[in-house]
Amino acid sequence: MDFSAVNWLAVIVAAVVAWLFGAAWYMGLSKPWLKAAKLDPATMSKSPLPFVISFIAELVMALVMSLVIGAMTGGELSLVAGLVFGFVLWLGFVATTLSVNHRYQGFGWDLTIIDCGHWLGVLLIIGAVIGWFGAAEVAG
């Protein structure tokens, strides 16, 4: 795998913007999400660890998205390609996985819709940023 064309600044910016989107998404939907997830805020841990793990996961997603878009477009990254790949990867992996997992875990569709909406936004943002920044300039 060739990492030379990865635009590391784009990967970091994409992860930061996606993480901020997630913070805003769940702050805005905190009450319906807590109800759908069957969580009681009084008994929840106040650890920052989930936030750290979320950011690391979004860094990994941005790196993988950069590699996928670069490989599938022959290195011709664009905003449109980023959005298309963000949507396709969300539909093919995230929406399907959450739909299955939430059914086995006994959660309702309300949690699936909230969580799928979040991950759709994350992957569209990551794809858009990666595509907009383009590939790194490779010295040759």
Evaluate if residue 140 carries a pLDDT over 60. Answer: no
Structure confidence at residue 62 (pLDDT): 98
Please, what is the average pLDDT of the chain?
94
The mean pLDDT value for 104-119 works out to: 98
Using an 8 Å Cβ cutoff, are 51 and 123 in contact? no
Within a 10 A sphere around the Cβ of 87, how many other Cβ atoms? Answer: 15
Integer Cα distance of 35 and 107 in angstroms = 10
- Annotated domain spans of the chain: 8-133
The C-alpha angle with vertex 92 and arms to 15 and 66, in degrees rounded to 5, equals: 35
Q: According to the model, what pLDDT value does residue 61 have?
A: 98
Residue 138 reports pLDDT greater than 70:
no
pLDDT category, 4, cuts 50, 70, 90?
Answer: confident
Q: Is 74 left (phi over 0), alpha (psi -120 to 50) or beta?
A: left
User: In angstroms, rounded to a whole number, what is the distance separating the alpha carbons of residues 22 and 57?
Assistant: 12
pLDDT value at position 40? 94
Long-range own/partner contacts, residues 36-41 (CB < 8 A, 24 or more apart)? 36/107, 36/108, 36/110, 36/111, 36/114, 37/107, 37/111, 38/107
Q: Is the pTM of this model over 0.85?
A: yes
Mean pLDDT of the 129-136 span: 90
